Amino acid sequence: MMEQFIEIKANNPGSLLFYRMGDFYELFFGDAIDASRALGITLTRRGQHMGQDIPMCGVPVHAADDYLQKLISLGFRVAVCEQVEDPAEAKKRGSKSVVKRDVVRLVTPGTITEERLLVASESNYLMTLARIKGAAEPLMALAWIDISTGVFRMAETEPSRLLADILRIEPRELIMPDTMFHDPELKPVFDVLGRVAVPQPSVLFDSATSEGRIARYFGVGTLDGFGTFSRAELAAAAAAIAYVEKTQFAERPPLGRPERESGASTLFIDPATRGNLELTKTLSGEREGTLLKAIDRTVTGGGARLLAERLMSPLTDPERINRRLDSISFLLEEPSLCSDLRSSLKHVPDMPRALSRLALDRGGPRDLGAILSGLEAARGVVAFLDGSILPDELSEALTDLKALPVTVESLLGNMLAQDLPLLKRDGGFLADGANSELDEVRALRDQSRKVIAGLQLQYADETGIKSLKIKHNNVLGYFIEVTAGNAGPMTDTPEAKARFIHRQTMANAMRFTTTELADLESRIANAADKALTIELEAFARMVAAVTAEAEAIKAGARALSIVDVAGGLALLAEEWDYRRPIVDDSRMFAIEGGRHPVVEQALRRQSSGPFIANECDLSPKNGGEFGALWLLTGPNMGGKSTFLRQNALIAILAQMGAFVPAASAHIGVVDRLFSRVGASDDLARGRSTFMVEMVETAAILNQATDRSLVILDEIGRGTATFDGLSIAWASVEHLHEGNRCRGLFATHFHELTVLSEKLGRLSNATMKVKEWDGEVIFLHEVGPGAADRSYGIQVARLAGLPDSVVTRARDVLTKLEDSDRKNPASQLIDDLPLFQVAVRKEETRRGSSKVEEALKAINPDDLTPREALDALYALKKQAGEKA
């Protein structure tokens, strides 16, 4: 057996080998050590190999999914090794023959289909990266598939946007040729992705054979009907198929035909911007506090995935955007219809994932039940939509829903029982009346208890033994049991011995059988086997019927998701007073009463008062061709970062086809969105906070176009004052004259406000504050003009800095502002003792209780001159010790 394990393991390096032994998957050698640590299970031993104990651990087959989930989440890949031979066949080769086993599946993060291993609201993408060297066409392409739903897409890319394109899709696993994985130019990309990136042999990416591999998978002679693809795209798509075939072996997931995406069709959002804006996860990796969490009102898994897909890939085509907006507008105008649709959608299970499991022979009766429930719910949605004058998107969805296979729904409805088991091997999933032969054998199986009870009564009357019982165990089957003292009537005469055949003698009992009982047992056993055989045959027929209609079912499921997303966004708009944006090809960016969607909801949950709405108008000035820049100044805690982010988020919401948190919004399509807000470092790559800031700023200045939206906060603050001011100054000029983009530039360099006199598209704006009785009140309002100071010391006091530090800071600030020296800080050197005195005074104030108590105890009128002098020396000593 260990020889078999070692041989199979050698053929599957890099994966933990789940070796099936009875009801357990066992792991040996290094796999056992790694698995026991990762799973927290006991490590044992089994025999020896080359004089050393063999480490071993195992997991029960019935609970394997839970362990797989943990291993996959930790980055492991698992090879599942099953018995591929009947043990009876193995015994024919000899009593010591080992049952044949082989790997039937490789479980990797990008190829899982089990319901318990997947998150219903998240796609599970496997992505491939291919590169064609020396070609005139684009050199690189990505393909991504979700075998749990059948999605299959591809797109061209290039090194400058590679990481952004990958993070837009958020694959669970990215494979590329091993030669590319070790390319120094691409190493920074793979370093960011970490264990998601997995190198594979280059032969999987052979562009010469890629077209043939794709055609064979889909059973077509040519790909002409699929569209036109570049060599790099074909190589990436073929590699995805090759990896699926490698991990799924003989099984084939029902992948849709590959669809080509153009990079220009979606809003480009670079990696830093995605992180800063916290679209689908916060900087700490949580879903709570993200834009997706704030806007998600979907009620189906497919709808949640489609919403996330749209959020991560906003459109740049106003026509497609307005098609989506039309659906929301329609449902807002029909609140009763929207409510009815959402009620029906709540009963829609995850049909695409159930379909995938069935096609891969991993499905069970409940997956067939999910298909049936989905088809029935779809019929309800059709009934609600049919007869209405629908916008284009919903009209097309209705067409796909009407095309769902009625024959499949009828077949499943007639065949499936109400309560379905998890596994098909458990049987009991066919309804009574679905199969007449099954009904007969079920009757025999289910009525066997009555038959046995009748026999028991007959034998008791025949022998006169009232305590006679008919029992069953797995060794003897059915048998008659009497106490040893009562066995006489069954053994005393030859006739009795012939009728009651002795089986076993116990300490206090004897066991018998009869020809009649043995025959009944055989028929009962055969009935159970026959019933399961009939059900498994019916299961296979139902699966075949379902998979034959895979494309129609997936199209219908996609239509249900579209209705779900539109209904959810309509509910969101009604609940939070979101408005329909105007989206066109202009350079407009005019937002009235804009709000931050995440912060607004957080304030309501905390009962912290209403969100202060603000306007933002970056539209071209005086009929100009290009959009405007705002230079935003104001205090810390005044709301600058919130204002910056909310305008970026409003642009994303508008272009994903959603209503926006504003009184009104007119947005000319943004082709690229850049947001540089907040400070971070990248110590692993040797980058300081300032270096990261400069790298991200460089990417913005090099890539932004006149259609882009740029959000920048505090550029240049991480270095010397004049250096930082110079960098910020030059950056504003470049955005204005070079990029000519729409943008918000927040800064504490108030010197930059003079640029508005020189740069025609630049306007000054500030966060308003109010001073009252020495206190600063942050109004969180944006208005025209420039801030005269930053109120940093007031914020420091609010943060809890010691009073002595705050007081000294005010002194230093006053001297710096009043100084006319080249280096105003130099005059403060002589004042350093003042700071020490201030601290000492503060410490004395806090810790002078003993001196004060001594003073209180002295009555000068009662002291002689000598006593007064001694008391003074004592106080001086105490004060000196305290100092």
What is d(CA 309, CA 299) in angstroms, rounded to the nearest whole number?
A: 16
What confidence score (pLDDT) does residue 827 get? 56
Mean pLDDT of the 815-825 span? 62
Number of Cβ within a 10 Å radius of residue 222: 9
What is d(CA 673, CA 704) in angstroms, rounded to the nearest whole number?
A: 8
Helix H segments across 40-119?
A: 64-73, 87-92
Does the pLDDT of residue 683 top 50, yes or no? no
Residue 577, phi-psi category: left (phi > 0), alpha (psi -120 to 50), beta (remainder): left
What confidence score (pLDDT) does residue 687 get? 62
The strand order across the sheet containing 742-746 reads 268-269, 672-676, 709-713, 742-746, 629-633, 762-772, 775-784
Q: Three-class SS of residue 55?
A: strand
Does the pLDDT of residue 799 top 80, yes or no? no
**Which residues does the annotation place in the binding site?**
634-641
Does the pLDDT of residue 684 top 50, yes or no? no
Mean pLDDT of the 339-358 span? 96
Mean pLDDT of the 761-765 span? 95
**Which residues does the annotation place in the binding site for ATP?**
634-641
User: Where does the pLDDT of residue 136 fall: very low under 50, low under 70, confident under 90, or very high at 90 and above?
Assistant: low
| DSSP code at position 736 | I
| Residue 681 phi, psi (nearest 5) | -125, 175
What is d(CA 27, CA 16) in angstroms, rounded to the nearest whole number?
A: 8
Burial 227-266 (b: 16+ CB within 10 A, else e): eebbbbbbbbbbbbbbbbeebbeebbbbbbebebbebeeb
Which of the residue ranges 123-137, 376-390, 598-612, 709-723 has the most confident prediction, judged by mean pLDDT?
Answer: 376-390
pLDDT digits (tens, 9 = 90+) for 50-78: 888 999 999 998 888 889 989 988 889 99
Which of the residue ranges 135-139, 346-350, 516-520 has the most confident prediction, judged by mean pLDDT?
Answer: 346-350
576 against 873, higher pLDDT: 576
What beta strand segments (E) does 22-150 contain? 24-28, 44-49, 52-60, 78-83, 101-107, 126-131, 140-146
Does the pLDDT of residue 845 top 90, yes or no? no
What confidence score (pLDDT) does residue 48 get? 86
Out of 243-252, 384-393, 716-725, 845-854, pick the least confident.
Answer: 845-854
pLDDT digits (tens, 9 = 90+) for 538-569: 999 999 999 999 999 999 999 999 999 999 99
User: Where does the pLDDT of residue 486 fall: very low under 50, low under 70, confident under 90, or very high at 90 and above?
Assistant: very high
Helix, strand, coil fractions of the chain, as percent rounded to 5:
50, 20, 30
DSSP 749-817: -GGGGGGGGT-TTEEEEEEEEEEETTEEEEEEEEEES--S---HHHHHHHHT--HHHHHHHHHHHHHHH
The single-letter code of the amino acid at 107 is V
Strands 672-676 and 775-784: unpaired
Number of Cβ within a 10 Å radius of residue 447: 12
What is d(CA 668, CA 646) in angstroms, rounded to the nearest whole number?
A: 17
Tokens of 640: 């600058």
What confidence score (pLDDT) does residue 679 get? 57
What confidence score (pLDDT) does residue 441 get? 86
User: Where does the pLDDT of residue 12 fall: very low under 50, low under 70, confident under 90, or very high at 90 and above?
Assistant: confident
Does the pLDDT of residue 834 top 70, yes or no? no
Closest among 538, 497, 499 to 515, alpha carbons compared: 499
**C-alpha torsion angle, residues 191, 194, 195, 197 (rounded to 10):** -50
Distances in Å between the Cα of 766 and the Cα atoms of 177, 543, 597, 788, 817 are 52, 65, 22, 10, 21
Mean pLDDT of the 406-415 span? 96
What confidence score (pLDDT) does residue 685 get? 55
What is d(CA 164, CA 784) in angstroms, rounded to the nearest whole number?
A: 35
Number of Cβ within a 10 Å radius of residue 421: 14
User: Where does the pLDDT of residue 520 fall: very low under 50, low under 70, confident under 90, or very high at 90 and above?
Assistant: confident
Which residues, in sequence order, are bridge partners of residue 784?
765
Closest among 1, 7, 5, 71 to 37, alpha carbons compared: 71
Sign of CA dihedral 188, 312, 578, 603: negative
**Predicted structure pTM score:** 0.84
Residue 342 CA, chain-centre distance (Å), reads 24
Burial class (CB in 10 A: 0-12, 13-18, 19+), 879: middle
Inter-residue contact 568 to 303 (CB < 8 Å):
yes
Out of 151-155, 359-363, 479-483, 680-684, pick the least confident.
Answer: 680-684
Side-chain-side CA neighbours of residue 653 (13 Å): 33
User: Where does the pLDDT of residue 521 fall: very low under 50, low under 70, confident under 90, or very high at 90 and above?
Assistant: confident
The strand order across the sheet containing 582-584 reads 582-584, 664-668, 589-594, 614-617
Inter-residue contact 377 to 347 (CB < 8 Å):
yes
Residue 47 CA, chain-centre distance (Å), reads 43
pLDDT above 70: percentage of residues in the chain? 93
Q: Which three-class secondary structure string do you get for 548-608?
A: HCHHHHHHHHHHHHHHHHHHHHHHHHHHHCCECCEEECCCCEEEEEECCHHHHHHHHHCCC
Mean pLDDT of the chain: 89
Strands 16-21 and 78-83: parallel
Out of 469-478, 518-527, 770-779, pick the least confident.
Answer: 770-779
Inter-residue contact 476 to 503 (CB < 8 Å):
yes
Closest among 787, 789, 796, 751 to 768, alpha carbons compared: 787
868 against 588, higher pLDDT: 588
What beta strand segments (E) does 677-756 contain? 709-713, 742-746
Mean pLDDT of the 225-241 span? 93
pLDDT above 90: percentage of residues in the chain? 61
Does the pLDDT of residue 829 top 70, yes or no? no
Closest among 387, 400, 264 to 320, alpha carbons compared: 264
Residue 685 CA, chain-centre distance (Å), reads 26
Q: Please, what is the angle between helix 792-799 and helix 803-818, to 10°?
A: 170
Number of Cβ within a 10 Å radius of residue 633: 24
Tokens of 24: 């357990």
What confidence score (pLDDT) does residue 137 get? 56
Residue 487, phi-psi category: left (phi > 0), alpha (psi -120 to 50), beta (remainder): alpha
**C-alpha torsion angle, residues 414, 420, 423, 426 (rounded to 10):** -90
What is d(CA 10, CA 21) in angstroms, rounded to the nearest whole number?
A: 19
